[in-house]
C-alpha cells in the first residue's frame, strides 16, 4: 500500500480528500491511527485539525480545510478530534484520556477562511479577513458544533489556535481591528465567556515578532505593528491566551508579567499566569506523560507504518478520489492497453517563502507503477488512450512587487483559471486595508491581469487531445483549490480529481479495481466573474461549471460507474 512513495508512516489523502469521502467514520479512523503513530513517535499534541471554513476559493490554505460546508466540516472536525484524543481499555487513565491520546489543537479561531481576495495572513498583504455577507455564524459551527461537542468522553478539543488575521470590524464591544490573538473580544468575550472554552489557547507562530515590509515572511503582529515585543506579549496574555507558538524566549514573557504587575498588581498577574499554567499542565497530565514519558523504540517501529495502518490509509485514498466526468463510460479501462503519458512542464518560479525553483520537464506519474497496469508508449499514434496528469491552476499569492515598482499598489488577482485573467469584475474599493508599511488603504486589483504559473497544464490537456484525435484522453488533476474547468473540460473524455493520493490508488480506479466514491466538498466555479462576485465569508454561493454531459460541478457532486452518486451522504449534506 506504499508502492513508489518511499514513506514509513501510514499514508492518507489530504484533509480535503478525507472530507471528500463525506464519511466521518473514515476521518475518525484516521484520527485513531494517526494518534497511535504520533504517540509511538513521542508526540502528544497535534497542531491540527485545520477546521477553517473554506468559503474563499482563492485562499492558499484552502487545501488544508474540510471544505466549505459548515455541517460537513463540523461532523469531520468532531470525528477527527474524537479519534485523536480518545483512549480506551488499558490505555485509558481517566475520562477518555490516556496513553493513546493526542491533544488536538483546532485552528484557526474564529475561522481563517474569509481572506479578502484570497490573500493569506502569513503576510501583511493578507492581514484582513472580511465578512461582506455578515456571516461569522457559519465559520464558528465547525468549532461550536464539532470540535467543542465531541461524541467521546474527552468532551472538547483541548487546544485552540487563532489565526493571524484581523477579523475586520467583528469587534462590537471594543471596536478594535487587531490580529485575532490580540483581540479581547474574540478570545475573552467570544471564546472564553460565550462558548465557555477553558482549554489551552496558543497563538499561531510569530505573532509577536517584528516585521519590516508588507511582503516579507517575518513576524505577523497585524494590528499591533507599532507596539514593542513586550507590549505585544502583554496584550495577548490579557486577551486570554496561554501559550506563544514558536516563541521559546522567556524574556518578553517575564517583562509582560512585570508590566501587568505595575498595571494590575502582583496578585492579579499571578492568578492570571496560574490560570494558563493549569491549562498547560492539564494537557501534559491527561495523556499520561508524567506517569510514563518514555518510549519503547522496538514497539514504536512495529506501530508506525504497520501493514494494517498502511492498508487503512490506502483504502481512504481510494474513497477520496472524485470522478467528475466519464463520457460514454470511458472508464474503467482494461489492463494492458497501450497508454501515452505526456511529460509535464514545470516552469521556473518562486515558492511561497521566496525560494526559487528551476524549470524542468518531468514524468507526472511513476512510470514503474503505471507499467504494472498498462503498456507505456512514447507516441500518441501508438496508444489506445492518453493519461494526462496535471495540477489545478497556481494563481499566485495576490501580491506583486513588480506591480508596486510599476507604480501600482502591489495587489493583483489570484486566478482560478490557467489562461490570462483580467479582473474586470473585482471590487473597485477593497473592503479592508491599511498598514504602517503602506500609504493607502485601497487594496483593489481591479483591471489587472495575471496568468497562472502552470498554464502549461492547460496546454498539455488541449494539445494531447489534438494529438489523440478521437481516442480517449483521461485527465487526472491534483486539486488544491476550486478551479475554472471551461478551459480543459471539453477535451477530456474522463476527469478524476484528487487531493494528494498515490498513483497506485488512481490506477486502481482507472482500471476498475475500485469504484470512485468521492464527492466534491466545495463548488467548482463557472468562471472568474462568479469568483469575484461571491462573498468571502459565505459558503456555496457561486455559479457552478456545467460540463458537456450536463452535470453541474456543485458541492456534493460525484460520479460512480452508474452515474451521478445519490446516497445517504448526499441526502445528509447536499440538500
Is the pTM higher than 0.85? The answer reads: yes
Residue 109: C-alpha distances to residues 82, 165, 266 (Å): 19, 10, 30
Measured CA to CA, the distance from residue 57 to residue 19 in angstroms comes to 16
- Domains along the chain with CATH numbers: 15-291 (3.20.20.300), 307-393+454-573 (3.40.50.1700)
Measured CA to CA, the distance from residue 283 to residue 102 in angstroms comes to 9
Grid cell for residue 574: 447536499
Measured CA to CA, the distance from residue 358 to residue 132 in angstroms comes to 40
Grid cell for residue 562: 452508474
Grid cell for residue 347: 516552469
Q: Kind and range of the H or E element at 230?
A: helix 229-239
**Contact, 62 vs 524, CB < 8 A?**
no
**Contact, 450 vs 415, CB < 8 A?**
yes
pLDDT (0 to 100) of residue 355: 77
Residues forming a β-bridge with 98: 92
Residue 182: C-alpha distances to residues 188, 233, 240, 368 (Å): 10, 9, 9, 52
Q: 41: how many CB neighbours lie within 10 A of its CB?
A: 13
Length of the chain in residues, anyone? 575
Considering the candidates 171, 204, 242, 457, report the single residue annotated as catalytic.
204
39: preceding bond cis by omega (within 30 degrees) = no
Measured CA to CA, the distance from residue 311 to residue 306 in angstroms comes to 9
Measured CA to CA, the distance from residue 291 to residue 70 in angstroms comes to 39
pLDDT (0 to 100) of residue 4: 47
pLDDT (0 to 100) of residue 523: 98
pLDDT (0 to 100) of residue 356: 81
Q: Kind and range of the H or E element at 530?
A: helix 528-533
* Per-residue pLDDT tens digits of the chain, which is 575 residues long: 555 445 589 999 999 999 999 999 999 999 999 999 999 999 999 999 999 999 999 999 999 999 999 999 999 999 999 999 999 999 999 999 999 999 999 999 999 999 999 999 999 999 999 999 999 999 999 999 999 999 999 999 999 999 999 999 999 999 999 999 999 999 999 999 999 999 999 999 999 999 999 999 999 999 999 999 999 999 999 999 999 999 989 999 999 999 999 999 999 999 999 999 999 999 999 999 999 889 999 999 999 999 999 999 999 999 999 999 999 999 999 999 999 999 999 988 776 667 788 899 999 999 999 999 999 999 999 999 999 999 999 999 999 999 999 999 999 999 999 999 999 999 999 999 999 999 999 999 999 999 999 999 999 999 999 999 999 999 999 999 999 999 999 999 999 999 999 999 999 999 999 999 999 999 999 999 999 999 999 999 999 999 999 999 999 999 999 999 999 999 999 87
Q: Of 435, 438, 439, 399, nearest to 223 (Cα)? A: 435
Q: Of 54, 206, 218, nearest to 123 (Cα)? A: 218
Longest C-alpha distance within the chain, in Å?
Answer: 82
Q: Is beta strand 375-377 parallel, antiparallel or unpaired with respect to 338-340?
A: parallel
The residue assigned the cell 502552470 is: 454
Phi, psi of 45, rounded to the nearest 5 degrees = -135, 130
pLDDT (0 to 100) of residue 348: 85
- 204 part of the active site: yes
pLDDT (0 to 100) of residue 119: 98
Amino acid at each position: 500500500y506504499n508502492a513508489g512513495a518511499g514513506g514509513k508512516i501510514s499514508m492518507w489523502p489530504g484533509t480535503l480528500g478525507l472530507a471528500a469521502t463525506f464519511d466521518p467514520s473514515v476521518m475518525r479512523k484516521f484520527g485513531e491511527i494517526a494518534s497511535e503513530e504520533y504517540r509511538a513517535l513521542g508526540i502528544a499534541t497535534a497542531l491540527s485539525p485545520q477546521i477553517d471554513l473554506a468559503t474563499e476559493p482563492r485562499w492558499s490554505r484552502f487545501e488544508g480545510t474540510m471544505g466549505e460546508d459548515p455541517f460537513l466540516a463540523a461532523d469531520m472536525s468532531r470525528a477527527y478530534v474524537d479519534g485523536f484524543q480518545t483512549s480506551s481499555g488499558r490505555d485509558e487513565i481517566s475520562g477518555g484520556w490516556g496513553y493513546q491520546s493526542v491533544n488536538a489543537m483546532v485552528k484557526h479561531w474564529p475561522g481563517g477562511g474569509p481572506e479578502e481576495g484570497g490573500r493569506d495572513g502569513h503576510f501583511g498583504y493578507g492581514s484582513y479577513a472580511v465578512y461582506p455577507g455578515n456571516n461569522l455564524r457559519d465559520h464558528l459551527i465547525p468549532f461550536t458544533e464539532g470540535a467543542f461537542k465531541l461524541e467521546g468522553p474527552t468532551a472538547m478539543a483541548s487546544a485552540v489556535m487563532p489565526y493571524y488575521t484581523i477579523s475586520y470590524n467583528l469587534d462590537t464591544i471594543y471596536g478594535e481591528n487587531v490580529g485575532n490573538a490580540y483581540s479581547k473580544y474574540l478570545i475573552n468575550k467570544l471564546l472564553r465567556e460565550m462558548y465557555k472554552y477553558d482549554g489551552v489557547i496558543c497563538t499561531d507562530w510569530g505573532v509577536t515578532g517584528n516585521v519590516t515590509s508588507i511582503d516579507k515572511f517575518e513576524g505577523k503582529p497585524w494590528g499591533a505593528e507599532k507596539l514593542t515585543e513586550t507590549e505585544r506579549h502583554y496584550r495577548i496574555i490579557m486577551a486570554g491566551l496561554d501559550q506563544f507558538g514558536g516563541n521559546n524566549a522567556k524574556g518578553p514573557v517575564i517583562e509582560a508579567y512585570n508590566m501587568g504587575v505595575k498595571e494590575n498588581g502582583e496578585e492579579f498577574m499571578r492568578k492570571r499566569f496560574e490560570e494558563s499554567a493549569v491549562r498547560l499542565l492539564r494537557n501534559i497530565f491527561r495523556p499520561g506523560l508524567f506517569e510514563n514519558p518514555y518510549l519503547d523504540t522496538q514497539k514504536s517501529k512495529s506501530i508506525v507504518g504497520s501493514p494494517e495502518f498502511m492498508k487503512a490509509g490506502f483504502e481512504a485514498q481510494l474513497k477520496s478520489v472524485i470522478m467528475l466526468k466519464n463520457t460514454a463510460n470511458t472508464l474503467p479501462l482494461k489492463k494492458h492497453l497501450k497508454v501515452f503519458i505526456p511529460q509535464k512542464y514545470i516552469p521556473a518560479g518562486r515558492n511561497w517563502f521566496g525560494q526559487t525553483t528551476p524549470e524542468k520537464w518531468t514524468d507526472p506519474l511513476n512510470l514503474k507503477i503505471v507499467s504494472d497496469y498498462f503498456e507505456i508508449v512514447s507516441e500518441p499514434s501508438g496508444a489506445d488512450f492518453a493519461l494526462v496528469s496535471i495540477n489545478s491552476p497556481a494563481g499566485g499569492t495576490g501580491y506583486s512587487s513588480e506591480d508596486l515598482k510599476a507604480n501600482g499598489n502591489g495587489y493583483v488577482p489570484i486566478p482560478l483559471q490557467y489562461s490570462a485573467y483580467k479582473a474586470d469584475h473585482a471590487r473597485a474599493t477593497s473592503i479592508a486595508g491599511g498598514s504602517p508599511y503602506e500609504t493607502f488603504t485601497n487594496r483593489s486589483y481591479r483591471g489587472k491581469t495575471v496568468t497562472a504559473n502552470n498554464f502549461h497544464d492547460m496546454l498539455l490537456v488541449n494539445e494531447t487531445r489534438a494529438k489523440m484525435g478521437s481516442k480517449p484522453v483521461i485527465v487526472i488533476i491534483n486539486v488544491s483549490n476550486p478551479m475554472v474547468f471551461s478551459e480543459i473540460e471539453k477535451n477530456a473524455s474522463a476527469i478524476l480529481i484528487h487531493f494528494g493520493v498515490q498513483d497506485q490508488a488512481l490506477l486502481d480506479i482507472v482500471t476498475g479495481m475500485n469504484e470512485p466514491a468521492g464527492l466534491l466538498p466545495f463548488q467548482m466555479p463557472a468562471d472568474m466573474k462568479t469568483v469575484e462576485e461571491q462573498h468571502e465569508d459565505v459558503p456555496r454561493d457561486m455559479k457552478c461549471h456545467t460540463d458537456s454531459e450536463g452535470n453541474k460541478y456543485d458541492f456534493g457532486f460525484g460520479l460512480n460507474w452508474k452515474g451521478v452518486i445519490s446516497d445517504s451522504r448526499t441526502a445528509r449534506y447536499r440538500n
